[in-house]
A and B are shown apart, each in its own frame.
Chain A
Amino acid sequence: MIKGKDLKPQDMGKPHEQLTKLEKLMDLPAPYDKPGMEPSLTEPKDAWKEKFCASLDGYIGIDTLTRPTTKEEEEEQVEMFLSGLEKIFSDETNRNFIQPLLLSFEYCAKCNTCSEACHVFQASGQNELYRPIFRSEVLRRIARKHFKKGSGIVEKFIGADIDINWETIARLGELAYRCNLCRRCAQTCPLGLDNALLAREIRKIFSQEMGIAPRPLHEKGTVLQLKTGSSTGITKPALLDNIEFIEEDIEEKTGKKIKIPIDKKGADILLTHNAGEFMAWPENPAAFAILFEDAGLDWTLSSDLLGYDNVNYGIWYDDSQAKKIALQQFKVARDLGVKRIVLGECGHAHKAAAVSADRLFTGEDYIPKESFLPLLWDLIKNNKLKLDPSKNNFPVTMHDPCNVVRMMGIVQPQRDIIKAVSPQFREMTPHGVHNYCCGGGSGFAIMKSMNFSEFREKVSTRMKFKQILDAFQDTIEDPTIPKYVCAPCSNCKGAIRDILKFYKVTEKFNVHYGGLVELVVNALVDIEKPFLDFLRDD
């Protein structure tokens, strides 16, 4: 095992049982600066080491990357990786990304400006393994070795000095899942290069060529979604049941009798949710329904296959899966004859539908896609909703989902909204386009196999946890004051739920989390009892 700070890209091919391990992590602010406040790190189980690739940092992110049992199988996997490598560099097989890929691949000056920006690298206590260019440099060295075969000296000169074997490749695959694809690093690169893009291309080689991707993303993600309509596995009848339950719940909580419109042909708006909301946070679709009905919008939900789940995990690891899903989602909207798709509180769905899939289809299939944020701000600005901000008189901070902010440029509307409903709002530092990822980005929020959650809680969400604690420093240690982390994105919300649980923050310090629409509904004048559960007595 090599100490984190001594690790070099060439070590990726060396025969260590485990290349390196986490040691001293980034310090957390009070009250988590005292010993014993957070669970300690654990060791991977021996059985996992035998079956999977635990030889990187002891964590297993790809639960389908199993150790080959024969020499032939091993060689075959290496061969497949190399053929996939060739395909990302071909404009026949990688048309959509060849240009940005080559730019980021060829021009890195190794100036390390990006390292400062990466929350994973910083949170790990600056373990070399997680430096944004470590992974990119390993990919470069493998590619150079593969494409430009030369003598020993030439290889060393151009940096083709890495051993290509199964271990190197498997570790690189794992390492592609130690990056949240948040692209904060790319904002700082003086040459405009993007290490996230390279991490994503590695994920593509594994998925598109080798058929290897974390189960929660592929088999139980995109594949399930294409088959049943949703990666949650909810079917149409289950969804309808769920909506009925939501209607009852709305009446019970607010006294409002609302019939949620479903499959209404020709409606102005098709509202799409991350289907996870229906199961884990039904108060979120409920809040949307309350606000949209209050404002008198002409809207509908869809119960069609792929019409009720706006997620698209494909954008994290596989171009073709992303395309298939987007295609069907847009088709639902066109078949319903709606005028536009409005995306609810799911960050990656925003990016997938409005940005990533924007150039996949031509005019005939065009359907406008927009975020709920400008719409909601418009309703508030024009007094379509009667609000009393004093109902939200407790400290509130807001997390900016990377996909909505850094990758789509929606920054101001959510601030206008939250300031209109929350008198004690305070920003995180930094925020807006320079925010830190919640740590659940690019699939981490739903990847829970083996010990991967531990990596997420201890490392990838650590910076967000620090930001939350910093934002509440004035009241954190007073458990009588409730505090609210607003995360207008389903995945971020999941990641934040897990942080609060892992570090026992709700239990000890009365910190809660939820979306933005819930906060707005809680401020509605005509609702008697609080809408937010933690404010209710029952």
Chain B
Amino acid sequence: MLLLIFIYISILAFILTSLSVAIRFSKMPMHSRWELYPVPKEKGRSEYGGSYYEELKWYEKPREISLFGELKEMLKEMLFIKNLFVNQRQLWWLSYALHLGIYLLGLWTVMLLVGAVTEVAGMTIISDEGVTSHWWAGLVYYVTLFAGAMGAVLTALGSGGLLLRRVTMESMKKYTTGQDYFNLLFIIIVLVTGLVVWASEPTFSYGREIMKGLLTFSPISADGPLTLHIILLGLLLIYIPKSKMSHYVAKYFTFHKVLWENEPNLPGSEIDQKIKEAAGIKSGKTWAAPHFQAGGPVSKDQ
């Protein structure tokens, strides 16, 4: 039962901490404009990096925004890590293996859940005689198997490769902190314990059992290796959003709220409103240089 509660807690912690990171960034004050082209939402211009400033009297014309353009670029980045693919192919292979592996493991988790729901509803997925002959059971079983196996292999290749690259390449090693190594190692260890468990039961039935436990709030039975794996995985889930591995949240802000955010401040616009509100905030604290002090000298030498 304790194990079950721990799993609940770690999943909840993962979601809540990720959310709190997002909330923390979204609550920050509106920043000065700091966009960088190409901005994909610029309709008809994003291909070459153009913007509304190419238009004569742009402020009198309606703003043409392509949400599709933005979405397309976002998906390319999320699904393929496009920027890395274009700018650093070698590293992309490893990084993409890791990320695709993680996506597949995500799919695997969902499939375990689907399997568990199916079993709770009364249809066995796999028994001692083999996979149940119903097409649904077969589908669930093989997709789970495929996602789990491919996910594990790719994540292992990716994280192992990245770690190896980091320790062997001088230009990367110099900038890597102990914590950076720890993050990669943590993923690898969770993966290894997972592989050990899987080796003893290749059908992933234990996964569906755990999901059933979670769904019906009933205790799960786990042997030594499985318990260890669950604890480590849970700890990883708690740790990820607290570390810089939470870049899945940050990336939304770096692109959407900074680099691709080029909303002009026109009279009566929402931005205009925000500036007015911000103008009311007076801070007691200021900077110390002479030119910040009223009536003070304007530079050090005066």
Q: CB within 8 Å of B: which residues of A?
A: 5, 8-9, 64, 80, 83-84, 87, 90-93, 95-100, 102-104, 106-113, 115-117, 128, 131, 133-134, 137, 156-159, 183, 186-194, 197, 207-212, 218-219, 223, 226-227, 318-321, 340, 354-356, 358-363, 366, 368, 370-371, 373-375, 378, 405-413, 432-434
Chain B residues with CB under 8 Å of A219's CB are: 298-299, 301-302
In the complex formed, the residue of A with least CB distance to B88 is: A113
**Contact indicator B54/A363 (Cβ below 8 Å):** no
Chain B stretch 74-103: residues in CB contact (< 8 A) with chain A: 77, 81, 83-84, 86-88, 91, 95
**Contact indicator B31/A100 (Cβ below 8 Å):** yes
Q: CB within 8 Å of A: which residues of B?
A: 25, 28-39, 42, 45, 48-59, 77, 81, 83-84, 86-88, 91, 95, 170-172, 174-180, 182, 244, 247, 250-251, 253-255, 257-259, 262, 264-268, 271-272, 275-276, 278-279, 281, 283-292, 298-302
**Contact indicator A433/B25 (Cβ below 8 Å):** no
Complex-state Cα separation, A112 to B88, whole angstroms: 9
Complex-state Cα separation, A190 to B180, whole angstroms: 17
Query: What are 8 of the A-B contact pairs (CB < 8 Å)?
Result: A99-B28, A99-B31, A107-B247, A110-B175, A159-B177, A190-B87, A360-B275, A366-B266
In the assembled complex, the CB of B164 is this many whole angstroms from the nearest CB of chain A, namely 15
Q: A93 with B268: in contact, given A103-B258, A355-B33 (CB under 8 Å)?
A: no
Complex-state Cα separation, A227 to B275, whole angstroms: 28
**Contact indicator B54/A374 (Cβ below 8 Å):** yes
Complex-state Cα separation, A197 to B254, whole angstroms: 12
| Extra contacts besides A87-B287, A103-B258, A192-B259 (19): CB < 8 Å | A9-B175, A64-B300, A93-B286, A98-B31, A111-B84, A194-B259, A211-B291, A219-B298, A223-B298, A223-B299, A358-B264, A359-B265, A362-B275, A362-B276, A363-B272, A363-B276, A366-B265, A405-B49, A433-B48
Chain A residues with CB under 8 Å of B49's CB are: 405-406, 409, 411, 432-434
Q: A93 with B180: in contact, given A107-B250, A116-B88, A183-B36 (CB under 8 Å)?
A: no
In the assembled complex, the CB of A511 is this many whole angstroms from the nearest CB of chain B, namely 27
Chain B residues with CB under 8 Å of A211's CB are: 288-291, 299-300
Chain B residues with CB under 8 Å of A363's CB are: 267-268, 272, 276
**Contact indicator A99/B53 (Cβ below 8 Å):** no
Chain B residues with CB under 8 Å of A99's CB are: 25, 28-29, 31, 253, 257-258
**Contact indicator A409/B45 (Cβ below 8 Å):** yes
**Contact indicator A191/B254 (Cβ below 8 Å):** yes
Chain A residues with CB under 8 Å of B247's CB are: 107, 109, 191
In the assembled complex, the CB of B128 is this many whole angstroms from the nearest CB of chain A, namely 47
Selected from B34, B38, B39, B81, the residue in CB contact (under 8 A) with A190 is B81
Complex-state Cα separation, A107 to B51, whole angstroms: 28
Interface secondary structure of A, over-half rule: helix
Complex-state Cα separation, A212 to B259, whole angstroms: 29
Chain A residues with CB under 8 Å of B271's CB are: 359
**Contact indicator A407/B35 (Cβ below 8 Å):** yes
In the assembled complex, the CB of B295 is this many whole angstroms from the nearest CB of chain A, namely 14
**Contact indicator A410/B53 (Cβ below 8 Å):** yes
Complex-state Cα separation, A109 to B290, whole angstroms: 38
In the complex formed, the residue of B with least CB distance to A80 is: B288
Chain B residues with CB under 8 Å of A193's CB are: 254
**Contact indicator A218/B299 (Cβ below 8 Å):** yes
| CB-based closest 5 A-B pairs | A409-B51, A192-B254, A159-B177, A433-B49, A363-B267
Complex-state Cα separation, A99 to B302, whole angstroms: 35
Chain A residues with CB under 8 Å of B77's CB are: 190
**Contact indicator B251/A192 (Cβ below 8 Å):** yes
In the assembled complex, the CB of A433 is this many whole angstroms from the nearest CB of chain B, namely 3
In the complex, which of the residues B39, B254, B265 has the most CB atoms of chain A within 10 Å of its own CB atom? B254
**Contact indicator B285/A90 (Cβ below 8 Å):** yes
Chain A residues with CB under 8 Å of B179's CB are: 157-159
Chain B residues with CB under 8 Å of A362's CB are: 272, 275-276, 279
